[in-house]
Structure 1
Amino acid sequence: MTKRVCLVSPKPPMLQRARQQKLDVVCVYTPEEFRTVPPSALEDETCLVLRHREDPRAMVEAVRALHARAPFSAVFTVQEEGVVPAALLNDELGLNGVHSDTVALLTDKWRMRQHTAAQGVSTVRAALATDVTDITEFGAAVGYPLIAKPVGGSASLAIHKIENAAEAERVHAALAEVGMHRFLLEEYLEGPEISVDVMSFAGRHVVIAIADKITGAGFLEYGHSIPAVLDAGLEAEVSRTVGAFLDSVGLRDGLSHTEVKLTPAGPKVVEGHNRRGGDRINTMTELVYGIDLEAAGLAWMTGESEPLTARPAAKCGAAVAFFEAEPGRVVAIDGADEVRDHPAVVEFHLQFAVGQVAPPVRWSPDRAGYLVVTAETGEAASALARSLAGRIRFTTEPVDNDADELRRQRDLLTDLDQADYVDVLEPRR
């Protein structure tokens, strides 16, 4: 009997994976999301196009009606914008997925910090803030530097490091300018950052991929490599820390992506998500371990696979590196053909073509493109990827769009900050 799945905000590759698993698919999109889906990507899928952020109950009732006629085996998403509506549907339909209590903690970072502090899990000092006094009082209490960031954002947008009390007013003004009048303060965590992708099976967590991370200005990510360079003892400590974090937020099944700082006091969780990692981590995990996280997560949640006992041994290393371009209209791109044809390059993508405007890099999609390579080890792959990325040269000419840029950043923060959306989630009884 064909199993039925409700996919929230699926991109074309996710639709293809569902077809390969011979699932009957119903998709839930917002109008804005649906407009980005190429018509050729859709075949026999039923699509519900709803403004579910504005009216989540209408979405629930529409999906409930379909579920009553032919029950879903699972509601599934791998997109950050899909985790809240998917949780609502899991709650209302009584399905065995990630539910509202977990998603509320992972989406609202202030809730998460309060919760993990109460449980004594990867405690990081934090406070909710609205003004300059909040910043200076928190700085006096915990010491500088500090981090100020959105309560419910993603994609490395609007993260500020505050080095001392004298910078408090400047950072507060920058936040207010883009409409961020409530924000999270955290103690700054010294040390390199890694990410950990896990599959959980009825409460048993299997670490699949640990990635080293390269960050640039504003903590934007410019590269990842798998496997991370960790000795066995530190890797085990990271696995224990992430497992304890997932237990604390109640994540028992499916995919998760947790960002971790390797501090002098041990691994500390930066934030977590109930989805696979972005930035081509799924591609690299399949290259290195032979595990397609999206396909494996979907198969587990629909009851079509057995649980993993452990990740396979690494077959190679893989890395992604992102390109940089000066803001402005692109007038030339040099080096692309040479780099694209390099035998180690598995994927190559340019975000902007000649004639298009490259914006200031405010969040991940503003980066100018990327390449994915394989090599013998993750470390070797990272070095090669960065070397090849350095050969891509964008020539741009200035454009006057300061007002548009400010409006764009405000709109992005509004769209990505799901902390208010979390309020529609009601803890399960």
Structure 2
Amino acid sequence: MNKRIAVVGGRPAPIHGAKELGIDVVLVHQEGDYEQEIVAHCERVVHARIDDAEAIIKVLEPLHRERPFDRIITTTEVAGESTGKVVDHFGLTGVSYKTARLLKDKVAMRELLAKHDLSPVAYRHVTRAQDAITFVKQHGKSVLKPAEGVASLHIHPCDDEASATQAWQALQDADVKHIIIEEYLEGPVVSVDSFSFKRRHLPIGYSQYRMNDKYVEWEVSTPSTEAKKWLKELKEMTCRLLDAVELEEGPSHSEFVLTPKGPRVLESHARLAGSGAPELVRRAFGLDLNRMFLTVPLGIDTLPEVSPEPKAGAAIQFFVPTPGKVKKVELDLKPDVDVRHTRQGETPLVFLPFLFELGQAERAVVIQKHEGDQIPPLDTVADCVSGYVLATGLSREDAVRIGDELVEAVHFIVEPKA
């Protein structure tokens, strides 16, 4: 008999090929928030708010009674805590609410890291402006941000009383209630993508970023040149971190800043990474995290014993045209580039349209803006909506070079905002 799982949310839900693997998938999603073509990979789709554990339990309980689920899993940040509660409710193996909560709440995370003498970073839970002012006086340049923030939203560097007060007020204006201040970590940001099974953690890929002055990542590339200098420490720190939060199984994505004193944890997530990182890992390291997300917990595939060595380089770069109204898009690409366009007038329900279809393309370009569309300023990762380029190369540097060439060959003719 087929294995049966419930997958909560996802844009796209990483369940392509589930039926061929002998897995029956019940997708739990909000009506209108998933792409219709994903339905072909599901046993059925049921509707519920994916951040509401009680609503998810209500739609899954009768199905679980009829034929129990082997796993209930998610790979979307919004559904992390709610899915953890559902996993606990049904008594299943997976990412518990405790683990999901520790990873989401940056104050709880810093407290846990301090308890385990892991990645020392000065921090404070901020409940009033004076907390931030005092912290900056003690530690110098700092970062004030939401303790449960995502997508680089509302991150405010500050280095004196005036900037700390201004940062505090900006978070109040944005109605952010749970706030943390941390010492400013100087150095490049890198990440480690891992997979766990029965609390054995296997670091797999390691990537680095290019970002703007608002800390929005507009390029991801792997294997990270910066990370190689600290690879032993990064792998050890990743495993210690995942042990500390008691991650049982599944994918994880941990980000670090490579400071002059060594790697420091920035944040971690018990899910597949965003921005196409699993596809980059597949291209560079040969392991398919999307497939493993389905197969390793169910015993269909075995978690490898050792981390793979890189066999290539891969990069994804988002287009970041001048904000304004698109007049036209001109392409000057070579014939070997796989080019895709979203439909004019339609907003994709997935963050990276065509990503699965482009799996065999060494060089690909996706255009998501058309004449008359508006290009937003790049304030968060969610603003990376103009399209992207995808490249495989002999090394990370080679893939980045190819990506740069592809971007230079696409011209967004824009009427800037007044």
Report the alpha carbon displacement of residue 373 of structure 1 after superposing the two structures with TM: 0.7
Residue from 110, 129, 134 that aligns with 1:132: 129
Change (3 A) 1:47 1:232: closer
Report the alpha carbon displacement of residue 341 of structure 1 after superposing the two structures with TM: 4.7
Q: Which residue of 2 aligns with 1:8?
A: 8
Change (3 A) 1:390 1:185: farther
Question: What is the CA–CA distance in structure 1 between the aligned matches of 2:81 and 2:334, rounded to whole Å?
Answer: 39
Q: Which residue of 1 aligns with 2:302?
A: 306
Q: Is the 8 A contact 2:82 2:97 kept in 1?
A: no
Question: What is the CA–CA distance in structure 1 between the aligned matches of 2:53 and 2:287, rounded to whole Å?
Answer: 34
TM-score (norm 2): 0.88
Report the alpha carbon displacement of residue 331 of structure 1 after superposing the two structures with TM: 1.4
Residue from 48, 51, 54 that aligns with 2:49: 51
Report the alpha carbon displacement of residue 205 of structure 1 after superposing the two structures with TM: 1.4
Aligned length: 394
Question: What is the CA–CA distance in structure 2 between the aligned matches of 1:269 and 1:39, rounded to whole Å?
Answer: 38
Report the alpha carbon displacement of residue 118 of structure 1 after superposing the two structures with TM: 1.9
Question: What is the CA–CA distance in structure 2 between the aligned matches of 1:37 and 1:216, rounded to whole Å?
Answer: 30
Question: What is the CA–CA distance in structure 1 between the aligned matches of 2:90 and 2:147, rounded to whole Å?
Answer: 28
Q: Which residue of 2 aligns with 1:375?
A: 393
Question: What is the CA–CA distance in structure 2 between the aligned matches of 1:166 and 1:12, rounded to whole Å?
Answer: 43
Query: Is the counterpart of residue 258 in structure 1 residue 247 in structure 2?
Result: no
Change (3 A) 1:345 1:393: farther
Q: Is the 8 A contact 2:190 2:227 kept in 1?
A: no
Q: Is the 8 A contact 1:325 1:358 kept in 2?
A: yes
Change (3 A) 1:70 1:385: same
SS in 2 for 1:137: helix
Question: What is the CA–CA distance in structure 2 between the aligned matches of 1:300 and 1:99, rounded to whole Å?
Answer: 17
More displaced 10-residue stretch of structure 1: 13-22 or 83-92: 13-22
Report the alpha carbon displacement of residue 12 of structure 1 after superposing the two structures with TM: 4.8
Q: Is the 8 A contact 2:206 2:227 kept in 1?
A: no
Q: Is the 8 A contact 1:5 1:302 kept in 2?
A: no
Question: What is the CA–CA distance in structure 1 between the aligned matches of 2:335 and 2:60, rounded to whole Å?
Answer: 44
Whichever residue aligns with residue 27 of structure 1, its letter is L
Correspondence 1:189-200 to 2 at 5 A: 189-200=185-196
SS in 2 for 1:185: strand
Change (3 A) 1:341 1:267: same
More displaced 10-residue stretch of structure 1: 318-327 or 190-199: 318-327
Question: What is the CA–CA distance in structure 2 between the aligned matches of 1:231 and 1:254, rounded to whole Å?
Answer: 23
TM-score (norm 1): 0.86
Determine which structure has greater relative contact order: mean sequence separation of CA pairs < 8 Å that are 6+ residues apart, divided by chain length: 1
Report the alpha carbon displacement of residue 399 of structure 1 after superposing the two structures with TM: 4.8
Q: Is the 8 A contact 1:76 1:301 kept in 2?
A: no
Per-residue CA shift, 1:407-428, capped at 9, x if unaligned? xxxxxxxxxxxxxxxxxxxxxx
Structure 1: runs of 5 or more not aligned? 401-429
Report the alpha carbon displacement of residue 273 of structure 1 after superposing the two structures with TM: 0.2
Whichever residue aligns with residue 368 of structure 2, its letter is Q
Structure 2: runs of 5 or more not aligned? 339-360
Question: What is the CA–CA distance in structure 2 between the aligned matches of 1:269 and 1:62, rounded to whole Å?
Answer: 37
Q: Is the 8 A contact 1:121 1:248 kept in 2?
A: no
Residue from 286, 289, 292 that aligns with 1:293: 289
Question: What is the CA–CA distance in structure 1 between the aligned matches of 2:335 and 2:306, rounded to whole Å?
Answer: 34
SS in 2 for 1:51: coil
More displaced 10-residue stretch of structure 1: 253-262 or 41-50: 41-50
| Structure 1 runs, 4 residues or longer, greater than 6 Å off | none
Q: Which residue of 1 aligns with 2:179?
A: 183
Change (3 A) 1:19 1:163: farther
What percentage of aligned pairs have identical amino acids?
30
Query: Is the counterpart of residue 171 in structure 1 residue 188 in structure 2?
Result: no
Q: Is the 8 A contact 1:160 1:171 kept in 2?
A: yes
Query: Is the counterpart of residue 206 in structure 1 residue 224 in structure 2?
Result: no
